[in-house]
Amino acid sequence: MVESRVEQLKGKLVVSCQALPHEPLHSSYIMGKMALAAKEGGAVGIRANTKEDIKEIQSQVDLPIIGIVKRDYEGSEVYITPTMKEVDELMEVRPEIIAVDATGALRPGELTLDAFFHQIKEKYPEQLLMADCSTIEEALHADELGFDFIGTTMVGYTEQSRNDKIETNDFEIIREIVAKAKHRVIAEGNINTPQKAKRVVELGVFSVVVGSIITRPQLITKAFAEALE
């Protein structure tokens, strides 16, 4: 059942509906309406943060969800679903896919990605998991571990990928991951035009996640305002 729902993401658009506490649109109610607007525009899936937002989104749209919990822990750079506490919270609302940071950084408690992956699989063996990666090496490692989906979410956001851009040289990072990975690849990060979204799907990704350029009006406005300065 879950797999058939996830299959509808193939070749299509997932919209990331997130607003952090310091952002103007921070509200589960607003994220629910944002997801509804995304669905009306043609999105076939939603990526969302926190069980509260996901629960509200599920009441508004019947679309598969990639769930995360963003939470900071002292002493760790990992903030996307960093511990079992966040996984347990997400399992209360059962998103079709749970995404976790799959970079090389250690999690709270000095836990490696490998150990964390096995922890999740032991407790929730049927749950589909997505790896949010920042480099080709991380993506291929997550693929070997057995993540169901390999994402390019963190490219450019980590020390090891600081100078990387997901779209450099016709999405060469994505092309290499697609060519070498056994599991389905989801393109995410800096896909900020319809043309880029179309291109990555042509390159063979399973699905494409688009966020800020659709759902963060303060950032969209800033781009326009800066262009006029």
Q: Is the dihedral of CA 19, 20, 23, 28 positive or negative?
A: positive
pLDDT for residue 162: 86
pTM for this entry: 0.97
CATH code of residue 133: 3.20.20.70
Structure tokens at 126: 């049927």
Q: Which domain holds residue 136?
A: 2-227
β-strand partners of 149: 130, 184
Domain count, the chain: 1
Closest CA relative to residue 24, chosen from 227, 212, 217: 217
pLDDT in tens, 110-149: 999 999 999 999 999 999 999 999 999 999 999 999 999 9
- The whole-angstrom distance between residue 77's C-alpha and the CA centroid of its chain comes to 17
